[in-house]
């Protein structure tokens, strides 16, 4: 599991605009990946999971696959798509 800690936005500030993320993991320290790499990693196996920390709670990061658009990641908590990724610091 990785925890996403920061995002880089491309052209725009909507959910589909983060182009890269910074993350940390207990097993591999920290890293930086493109949106496409995170989408691919999450899609390969259900064992691959990402979260955003929201206080003491971790919010899951899932892949959104809109019709005729590139897939992207977004947080999903309590049955609702949320803005936790967009609230992270930018780099």
Domain ranges of the chain: 2-82
Residue in the structure block whose two tokens are 């003491």: 56
Please report the pLDDT score of residue 27 as a whole number: 86
Residue numbers of the chain with a pLDDT score lower than 70: none
What DSSP element (H or E) covers 4? strand 2-9
Q: CA 54 to CA 90: how far, in whole Å?
A: 16
Please report the pLDDT score of residue 64 as a whole number: 96
Please report the pLDDT score of residue 37 as a whole number: 98
Please report the pLDDT score of residue 56 as a whole number: 86
Please report the pLDDT score of residue 29 as a whole number: 86
Please report the pLDDT score of residue 24 as a whole number: 96
Q: Which residues pair with 3 in a beta bridge?
A: 24, 51
Strands (E), 10-71: 18-25, 29-34, 50-54, 57-64
């Amino acid at each position: 599991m990785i925890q996403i800690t920061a995002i880089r936005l491309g052209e725009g500030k909507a959910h589909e605009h983060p182009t890269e993320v910074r993350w940390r993991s207990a097993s591999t320290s920290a890293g930086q990946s493109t949106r496409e790499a995170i989408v691919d990693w999450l899609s390969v196996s259900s064992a691959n999971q990402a979260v955003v920390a929201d206080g003491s709670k971790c919010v899951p990061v899932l892949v959104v696959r809109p019709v005729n658009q590139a897939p992207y990641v977004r947080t999903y908590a309590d049955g609702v798509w949320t803005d936790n990724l967009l609230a992270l610091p930018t780099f």
